[in-house]
Amino acid sequence: MTGRRGRPPKSADSGLSRERILKEALALVDEEGLAAVSMRKLARRLGVDPMSLYNHVDGKDALLDGIAEVLLAAIPAPAPGTGLRETMSALARGFRAAMLGHPRAAPLVLTRQLASMTALAPVEAVLGPLLAAGYPPDRAVHGLRAVLAFLIGTLMREVDAAPTFSSTGDLGRLADLSASGLPAVAEAAPHLAVCDHEAEFEFGLGILLDALAP
């Protein structure tokens, strides 16, 4: 007697782990986007019964938090013994690389309220170097929030999670800006009409690092 079509046998649950589930979930997001994620769809990809997933993750929210953990874990730790500027620069570039490596999943980190322990990983990574550089705790928190605001705001636009205020090579946009009747906008129109995300990131990061210098 054959089983119900489309439903994997429960014996296929062997070898399942949280790590394997999160890896496959991230692959699903990369391929189809966050809206495609469901426990049933993920179970089908893994060839297991959907209920078996709950032995490793508590549900969809926990699954999404786990994907965010995977992204954050991909940020390399700065080399020990480096100064504040080098450390913060490495963290910022590592954060950007991790998000751009999985742009469809990046909004889980950039826009979603994460479970406390998941959210504390980047907080610790930024606060530690600031405190080690001599910042008192209150100013370290100000610095932390400035760094995270810059990273999240910049990367939201870069992964298309927020409105883009300029577009690359848009001649119509250039014409509209040039004819706006606003002197400053018209003068800067050729630059406003395009957006080099990496150049924008490096420019903003440089200003931020200068401001954070002890």
Per-residue pLDDT tens over the stretch 102-151: 999 999 999 888 776 777 888 888 999 999 999 999 999 999 999 999 99
Q: What is the mean pLDDT of the chain?
A: 87
93 shares its domain with 170: yes
110 shares its domain with 184: yes
- 87: which 2 tokens? 């450390």
Residue 180 covered by a domain: yes
Residue 89 covered by a domain: yes
Contacts of 83 (CB under 8 A, 6+ apart): 133
Q: What CATH number is given to the structural domain containing 25?
A: 1.10.10.60
33 shares its domain with 88: no
The pLDDT value recorded for residue 214 is: 75
The pLDDT value recorded for residue 169 is: 55
C-alpha 38/C-alpha 42 separation (Å) is 6
Residue 194 covered by a domain: yes
Per-residue pLDDT tens over the stretch 94-103: 999 999 999 9
19 shares its domain with 111: no
Residue 199 covered by a domain: yes
Per-residue pLDDT tens over the stretch 153-206: 999 988 875 555 555 556 778 888 888 889 999 999 888 888 889 999 999 999
Residue 66 covered by a domain: no
- The number of residues making up the chain comes to 214
104 shares its domain with 206: yes
C-alpha 212/C-alpha 86 separation (Å) is 11
The pLDDT value recorded for residue 117 is: 78
How far CA 145 is from CA of 138, 203, 213, in Å, comes to 11, 18, 16
pTM summary value: 0.83
Per-residue pLDDT tens over the stretch 30-43: 999 999 999 999 99
Residue 183 covered by a domain: yes
127 shares its domain with 181: yes
Q: Three-state SS for 201? A: helix
Residue 102 covered by a domain: yes
Q: How many structural domains is the chain composed of?
A: 2
93 shares its domain with 149: yes
Range of the domain at 41: 10-57
47 shares its domain with 90: no
